[in-house]
Structure 1
C-alpha cells in the first residue's frame, strides 16, 4: 500500500497536510466523530536525526495546541538511518527524544495508535511504532527486526539452527502474523479501514489509562509463552 492509497482508504478526502515530503507526512484528518493528528513515514524511510526531530515536533505541537487529541502513526520504514553523520550526532539520543515526547503525550491524555502499512524494521519501528498504546498492521505489511541470514552473521549462530528455531517460535520470525502471535499487534486489518481505525481509537479512549495486554495476548495466542507467567511471578514477590 502506498501513502496515497493509505490516506484514501483511511480518510477519504479529509486529510489536511501540514507537511509532506518523500519520507514523512504530518497533518490532521477526520475519523468518525473526531479529528486526529496524523504522523507518518513513507517510501521505506530511514529514521535518522532529522526525521526524529520532525516527528517529535509534530507530537509536541499536538500536545501544546490540541489537548487530548488522538495521535495516529502510519509506518513504512526500513529501519534506523545507517549514516556516519547520524551516528556521530547520536541517533540513539534523537530516537529516545521522540519516544520521550510520545510518553509526554500519553501522560497528558493523548491516545497513541500506530499502523504499519508498508515495512517496519528494527530501530526505526521501535521508535516510531512500538511506543504506541496499541499497534496494528494492514494485511500486506512486513514487520521484522532482522532477517535470518543477517541474524546468523551477527550472532554467529548457524543459519540452519535459526531456521529451525523460527519454525518453532514466532520470536525468531519476520512477518505481521508472527507479531500478532507474540501479542505485539492487536489485529491485522484487511478491509473497512476507516471503521476499524475508529473502533480502535474508541477502544483506547474507553480503556484509558491503557492497559498493556501484549504479554497476556502473546500467551493466549501461543507466540510468547513465558513473558506473562514470569512477570506475574516477579510481581508476586514483595
Structure 2
C-alpha cells in the first residue's frame, strides 16, 4: 500500500494530511466524530534536525489547543548522518521529539505508531518506539541496527552475527523479530479496513500500557528484560 492508500483507508471521513518533503503533518477525522493529530516520516527520509523540530513543533502546537489521540506514521531511513546535523546536536533533537511524544501520551493524548515502511536506529527510537503502542503493517522493514553496523560496534564478525540472528531476535532485523521482542505491539492487515482496526485499538487504549518487556518475554524474544526491570524498580524503591 502507498502512503495515500494507507491514509485513505485509515480516515474515510476525511483528513488534512500532507507530505512535505518526507515530513508528514496534519490531522484527520475519526469515525467516532473526534479528531486525530497525524505526523510522521515518509519516503524513507532520514530523520535530521529539520525534520525532528517540525514534528516536535506540530505536537507541541496541538497540546493545549486540541484533544484526541496522535498517530505517528513511519517510513524513514535512519537518523541523518551528516556533519551539519551532528554539529547542531542531532541527538538532542531526536531526544526532544521522543520526549514530546511521551509527554503528550502521559497528558491525555494517546500515541500510536504505525510502521508501514522502513525505519532504523535513532529515527525508529524517536518516532515509533516513542509511542505507547507501535503497530506494524505487512511489508514493513525495521531494523534497530543493521548487521554491518552491529559488526562495527560489537567487533564480531558478520558470520557470527548472522548465526546469532537465526536464533536470537535481538540480533536480527525485520518486522517479525521486532514483534517477537515486544517492540511491535500488534500487526494489522492491509487487506481490510485500516479504519476499523484503528477504531478497535483506540477503544482499547485506556487499558493499554507499555508492555514491551512483558510481551518480549511472552513471545520468547527477550526472556530477561522484564525480570531485570522489575528488580531495578524494586531496588530503587528500597533506596528511597
TM over 0.5, yes or no? Answer: yes
Contact (CA 8 Å) 1:139, 1:189: kept in 2 or not?
yes
Contact (CA 8 Å) 2:73, 2:116: kept in 1 or not?
yes
Q: What is the count of residue pairs matched by the alignment?
A: 233
Give the Cα–Cα distance (whole angstroms) in 2 for the partners of residues 236 and 106 of structure 1. 25
Give the corresponding residue for 1:200: 201
Give the corresponding residue for 2:218: 220
SS state at 1:180 partner: helix
Give the corresponding residue for 2:209: 211
SS state at 1:41 partner: strand
SS state at 2:63 partner: helix
TM-score norm. by structure 1 comes to 0.92
- Is the aligned partner of 1:231 residue 2:229? yes
Give the Cα–Cα distance (whole angstroms) in 1 for the partners of residues 97 and 234 of structure 2. 33
Give the corresponding residue for 1:44: 44
The alpha carbon displacement at 1:102 in A equals 1.6
- Is the aligned partner of 1:78 residue 2:90? no
Give the Cα–Cα distance (whole angstroms) in 2 for the partners of residues 82 and 234 of structure 1. 34
**1:162-177 matches, cutoff 5 A:** 162-177=161-176
Give the corresponding residue for 2:29: 30
The alpha carbon displacement at 1:230 in A equals 2.1
Contact (CA 8 Å) 1:74, 1:116: kept in 2 or not?
yes
Give the Cα–Cα distance (whole angstroms) in 1 for the partners of residues 158 and 38 of structure 2. 40
Contact (CA 8 Å) 1:31, 1:197: kept in 2 or not?
no
SS state at 1:168 partner: coil
**1:124-139 matches, cutoff 5 A:** 124-139=123-138
Query: Any gaps of 5 or more consecutive residues in structure 1?
Result: none
The change in CA–CA distance for 1:235 and 1:92 in structure 2 (over 3 A counts) is closer
Contact (CA 8 Å) 2:13, 2:30: kept in 1 or not?
no
Task: Give every structure 1 segment of 4 or more consecutive aligned residues whose post-TM-superposition deviation is greater than 6 Å.
Answer: none
TM-score norm. by structure 2 comes to 0.91
Contact (CA 8 Å) 1:176, 1:188: kept in 2 or not?
no
Give the corresponding residue for 2:160: 161
SS state at 1:44 partner: strand
SS state at 2:36 partner: strand
Contact (CA 8 Å) 1:80, 1:122: kept in 2 or not?
yes
The alpha carbon displacement at 1:103 in A equals 2.7
Range 113-122 or range 22-31, more displaced: 22-31
Contact (CA 8 Å) 1:136, 1:185: kept in 2 or not?
yes
